[in-house]
Chain A
Amino acid sequence: MKLLESQLSRTTIVVTQIAALFMAIGLAWFLSAHVGMTAGDHIFSGEPSYLTNPVAMVQKAWTLEAVGEKRSVVMLGICLLLLGPPLRVVLCAVGFALRGDRLYAAISAGVVLILMVSFFW
Chain B
Amino acid sequence: MTTPLFDFLIAIASFGAGLLGALIGLGGGIIVTPLLVLGFGIDIRYAMGAALCSVIATSSGAAAAYLRDGISNMRVGLFLSLATTSGAICGAFASTLMNPAVLAVIFGLALLSTVVLSLRKQKLGTVAVENSDPLAVKLRLPGEFPTPSGIVQYGVAALIPGTFVMWIAGVLSGLLGIGSGAFKVLAMDQIMRLPFKVTTATSNFMIGVTAAASVGMYLKKGYIDPVLVAPVALGVLAGAFLGAKLLPIVPVKVLRVIFLTAVLVIAIQMILHGIGTL
Binding site for B on A (CB under 8 A): 1-2, 5-6, 8-10, 12-13, 15-16, 19-20, 23-24, 26-27, 30-31, 34-39, 41-47, 51-52, 54, 71-72, 74-75, 77-78, 81-82, 84-86, 88-89, 92, 103-104, 107-108, 110-111, 114-115, 117-121
Contacts and interface: CB of A to CB of B under 8 A. Distances in A.
A75 B226 contact: yes
A75 B222 CA distance: 12
B42 A2 contact: no
Interface SS of B by simple majority: helix
Contact of B216 (A34, A45, A77, A115): A115
Given A39-B2, A42-B41, 16 more contacts: A9-B67, A20-B57, A20-B233, A23-B229, A41-B225, A42-B43, A47-B224, A72-B226, A75-B226, A84-B56, A88-B63, A104-B140, A114-B85, A114-B89, A115-B209, A119-B216
Interface of B: 1-4, 6-7, 40-43, 45-46, 53, 56-57, 59-61, 63-65, 67-68, 70, 72, 74-75, 78-79, 81-82, 85-86, 88-89, 92, 100, 139-140, 205, 208-209, 211-217, 219-231, 233-234, 237
Contacts, number: 190
A20 B67 CA distance: 21
Which 4 pairs of residues, A with B, have the shortest CB-CB distance? A46-B222, A119-B216, A47-B222, A74-B226
A44 B46 contact: yes
A19 B215 CA distance: 16
Nearest to A2: B70
A47 B209 CA distance: 24
Contact of B212 (A8, A35, A82): A82
